[in-house]
Structure 1
Amino acid sequence: MVGMKAAVVHTPGGPDAIRIEERPVPQPAPGWVRIRVHAFGLNRSEVYTRRGDSPGVRFPRILGIEATGTVDAAPDSGFAIGETVATVMGGMGRDFDGGYAEFVCVPAGQIRRLRTKLDWTTLGALPEMLQTVWGALHRSLRVARGGSLLIRGGTSSIGLAAATLAKHEGLTVVATTRNEQRFALLRKNGADHALIDNETISAELKKIFPDGVGGVLDLVGTSSLADSLACAALHGIVCLAGGLGDSWEIEHFSPMSTIPAGTYLTTYGSRVDVMLDMPWEDLLSKIESGVLRFQQGPVFKLDDIVEAHRCMDENRAEGKIVILT
C-alpha cells in the first residue's frame, strides 16, 4: 500500500482551495486506528476551516471532522480488521488530518462500532449529524414527549434532522426558513408549522404558542439569539448550536435585559462522548426499518469535492451532502 487519494487545503480560500492529491497512506501509532474511509458527510465547520477561520489550524491540512468506513489497521486498540466504524471530531481535520481521504488515522477512543445493514451513502450522512441532533435535543434541551420545539435554520441538514427526530419523539415542531418555497420541505421532515425567519419571529410564533415554546434550537447564531430567547416559554430552554448566520459574538451583550427571567440559555457543540454514548443501535434499526427517515442531500465522489463545497456554500443541498470515496 503506497499511496491514497486525499482532498488537501494548502492555502485558505474558497472551494477551489481544495486539491485532490496523492498522499502516503498514514500509519497508525499504538492506540490509534486506521480506517478505510468509504463515506463521509460535509459539515459547515469545514467551510470555516477551509476559509482559514478555525483558530490554530495549520496548513496544508486534509479537512474532515467525520468518517465512516472499515477498520484497516488497529495496533493495540481492541478493534478488529474489517469492523464497520464511525468517528467524529476529536481534532480531526484541525489538529491532525481528517476524513477527506481514502484512509484516516484517529485515536481508538473516538471510534464507535456500528452494526448495520445500511449502505455507505446513508451511513456516511449520519455520525456528525445524528450526534449533533441527539446531543442538542437530549443533553442540552432535555426534550420530552408532548413538548414544543422551535428550530431556527430549519432547512439545514441539522435542522431537518432535528425536526425529524423531534417529531418522532412526540414533540410539536416549528421550523423556520428564509424562503417560503421551502415550507413543503420543512413539513415533509416533521415540522408541524413553518415560519419565515427574518430574525424577529417571536410575535409570529406567539400566534401559534401564546406562552412560547418549551425549547428553541437556534442554528442561525448570535444574530437571532435575543429573539430566540423571546420565543421561549417560562422555564423554556434556548440552545445555541450553530452559526449559519456567520456571526459568533454579540456586541454589548446585556444578560439582564436579554435573557428573560426563568428562561435558560445553553449551547451544544459536537462532542465525542455523545457520539460514543448515544443509542446508535436503536437509531440505526429505526432508520433501517424506515421508521426514521432523514433527508438525503446530494452525493458526490471524492474527485468532485470542490463542487460539493460549492453546493454547501450556496445552500443548495436541502439535506446532508455525502462524499463516497
Structure 2
Amino acid sequence: MARVVRIHEYGKPEVLRIEEVPVGRPGPGEVRLRQTVIGLNFVEVYFRRGTFPVPGFPWPIGNEAAGIVDEIGANVTEVKVGDRVAYADGPHGAYATERLYPADRLVPIPDNVSDEQAASVVLKGLTARYLLKEVVPLSPGDTVLFQAAAGGVGTIFVRWARALGIRVIGTVSTEEKAAFAREAGCVAVIDRSRESLGDRVHALTEGRGVKAAFDSIGRDTVRASLASLGPRGTLVVFGKASGEPEPIVPFELAPRSLFVTWPILPVYTASRSQLLTAASDLFAAVGNGHVDARPNRVYAFDDVVQAQRDLESGRTMGAAVLRI
C-alpha cells in the first residue's frame, strides 16, 4: 500500500485527501518507485481547482518527484533496480509514497545532484529551458520580460539567462519578492501592483521594448506583457494563474509584427532522446552553478494541504517540495 494524495471533487486545498492505495506490480515497460521528494508546482493547483478538468474522481495529484527504482517490469532497459531517478509531466499521481511509472519517461539523477534538488528542478527547470533555449531565439545582450520572476520557473529562468548573457526584466507582486528576483539576477524589477508595466518597460529599454515576454499569470497580465514588446517581439504565454486571458485579435499584432505562442513541455520532450538531452543540459547547468536547484521551502508529506495553500496564495518563492 502507498499513501497517495487524491481529490474526490474540485475545490480549496482542503479537498486534498491522503489515502492508502494499492500500488501493484509493475507491468511491461513500467517500474515501481519508492519516492523520496515530491516537487510542488502551480499546475497542480489548476487540477485541484478544476481549471484543468480531470477525467474522473478520485484523481491523484502531482506531476514531479524523485525516488529510487524498487522493481522493474518486463522489457525495461532504461533503468535498473536501485537507480535514483526523477520525472516530470507524465502520468499524474506524484503526490505519493510509492507509485508505478513508465520507465522511458524517467531521467537518471547524477551523483552530484540530491533528490531534493532533482524534485525541485526537473519540471520547472525543463520548462525554463525550453522557454529560454527553444521557444524564441535569444542571444547574449537581448532583453526579455518575465512575469512572476520570483516563482519557481522564474528564478531558474532568470539565473540561467544571466549566465547566458540575456538581460531579464522581472515582475513581482511584493517587495520581498522583488529582493528575491534581484538576487536571482534580474537587471530591473517591476512591482506590478504599483507600477504601469508597459510604461516602465519602455523606459527601461529606451523605448525599444523587449524581444520576448514570458507570462504564466494570464488574465491579469497578458495585455501588459503584449504592450511591453518591441517590433517583431514574441508573447510567450505558458500559464493562467489568474485566469483565462482575454482573446487577442490577430490584427492587433500587425503594427509591430508581433508573435504569440503558448508552448507546453510535452511537445519539447516528446521522445526519450529529447527528454534525456534536455535533462542532461539542465543537470549540467545545476552542476556548474548556472541553476540553483535548492528548494526554498520544504514541507512534510502530511502538510500537503498547507503547502498548496501557500503555493496558491503566492507565499512561496523559488522551488518548494514535499519530503517523504
TM-score, normalised by the number of residues in structure 1: 0.90
Q: CA deviation at 1:182?
A: 2.5
Q: Is the 8 A contact 2:117 2:294 kept in 1?
A: no
1:136 aligns with 2:131: yes
Partner residue of 1:172 out of 154, 167, 172: 167
Partner of 2:280: 281
Name the residue aligned to 1:85.
85
Taking the TM superposition and a 5 Å limit, the aligned residue runs for 1:108-147 are 108-147=103-142
Contact 2:129 2:282 in 1 (8 A): no
Q: Following the alignment from structure 2 to structure 1, what is the Cα–Cα distance between the partners of residues 264 and 310?
A: 24
Distance 1:263 1:295 in 2: 36
Structure 1 residue 131: Cα displacement: 0.9
Shift, 1:62, TM fit: 1.6
Change in CA separation of 1:19 and 1:56 when aligned onto 2, cut-off 3 Å: closer
Alpha carbons 1:214, 1:235 under 8 Å: kept = yes
For residues 181 and 39 of structure 1, the distance between their equivalents in structure 2, rounded to whole angstroms, comes to 27
Decide whether aligned partners of structure 1 residues 222 and 313 sit closer, same or farther in structure 2, where only a CA change above 3 A counts: closer
Distance 1:101 1:281, change over 3 A: same
Amino acid at match of 1:219: S
CA distance in 2, matches of 1:256, 1:200: 24
Kindly state the Cα deviation for residue 47 of structure 1 after the two structures are TM-superposed.
0.9
After the TM superposition, which residues 203-218 of structure 1 pair with which residues of structure 2 at under 5 Å, given as runs? 203-209=199-205, 210-218=207-215
Letter in structure 2 aligned against 1:311:
D
Taking a change above 3 Å as real, the CA distance of residues 288 and 221 of structure 1, as seen in their structure-2 partners, is same
Tell me how far 1:46 sits from its aligned partner. Answer: 0.8
The answer to whether the aligner puts 1:262 opposite 2:254 as a matched pair is no
Q: Shift of the alpha carbon at 1:297? A: 2.2
Tell me the distance in 2 between the aligned counterparts of 1:213 and 1:135: 18
Aligned match for 2:222, one of 225, 230, 243: 225
2:155 paired with 1:153: no
| 1:256-298 deviation per Cα after TM superposition (whole angstroms, max 9, x unaligned) | 0256432221122222743714443343244245443246321
Name the aligned partner's letter for residue 134 of structure 2: R
**One-letter code aligned to 1:112:** V
Structure 1 counterpart SS, 2:33 = strand
Q: Matches of 1:308 and 1:26 in 2, distance apart?
A: 28
Q: 1:150·1:175 contact (CA, 8 Å) conserved in 2?
A: yes
The change in CA–CA distance for 1:264 and 1:17 in structure 2 (over 3 A counts) is same
Bigger CA drift: 220-229 or 207-216?
220-229
- CA distance in structure 2 between the aligned counterparts of 1:235 and 1:25, rounded to whole angstroms: 51
Q: In 1, distance between residues paired with 2:98 and 2:152?
A: 25
CA distance in 2, matches of 1:218, 1:178: 14
Tell me the distance in 1 between the aligned counterparts of 2:160 and 2:141.
14
* In 2, Cα distance between equivalents of 1:207 and 1:273: 34
d(CA) in 2 for partners of 1:103, 1:272: 27
**Alpha-carbon distance in 1 for matches of 2:254, 2:317:** 32
Q: Give 1:132 shift.
A: 0.8
1:323 offset after TM fit, Å? 0.8
Q: Read off the aligned partner of 2:108 and give its amino acid letter.
A: R
Q: Which residue pairs with 1:4 in the alignment?
A: 2
Deviation string, structure 1 residues 8-67 (Cα, Å, up to 9, x no partner): 222222111112222212332211222221111111111121123322431112211112
> Take 2:23 and 2:160, find their aligned partners in 1: how far apart are those partners?
38
Residues 205, 319 of structure 1: alpha-carbon distance in 2 compared, 3 angstrom cutoff: same
Q: Distance in 2 between matches of 1:26 and 1:303?
A: 23
Q: Flag the 1:259–1:103 CA change in 2: closer, same or farther, 3 A.
A: farther
Q: May I ask how many residue pairs the two structures share in their alignment?
A: 316
Answering whether residue 240 of structure 2 is matched by residue 243 of structure 1, we say yes
* Counterparts of 2:152 and 2:107, CA distance in 1: 22
8 Å Cα contact 2:32/2:69 also seen in 1: yes
Contact 2:150–2:178, Cα closer than 8 Å, also in 1: no
Residue 271 of structure 1 aligns to a residue whose secondary structure is helix
Aligned residues of 2:25 and 2:32 also touching (Cα < 8 A): yes
Whether the 8 Å contact between 2:118 and 2:293 is mirrored in structure 1 is no
Shift of 1:101: 0.6
CA 55–271 in structure 1, closer or farther in 2 if over 3 Å, else same: same
Q: Which amino acid aligns with 1:85?
A: V
CA–CA separation in structure 2 for the residues paired with 1:115 and 1:312: 28
Could you tell me which runs of 5 or more consecutive residues in structure 2 were left unpaired when the two chains were aligned.
Answer: none
Q: What is the root-mean-square deviation of aligned Cα atoms in Å?
A: 2.1
Q: What is the distance in 2 between the residues matched to 1:22 and 1:37?
A: 15
Given the alignment of the two structures, is residue 36 of structure 1 paired with residue 34 of structure 2, yes or no?
yes
| CA spacing shift, 1:289–1:258, aligned 2, 3 Å | closer
Report the TM-score, using the length of structure 2 for normalisation.
0.90
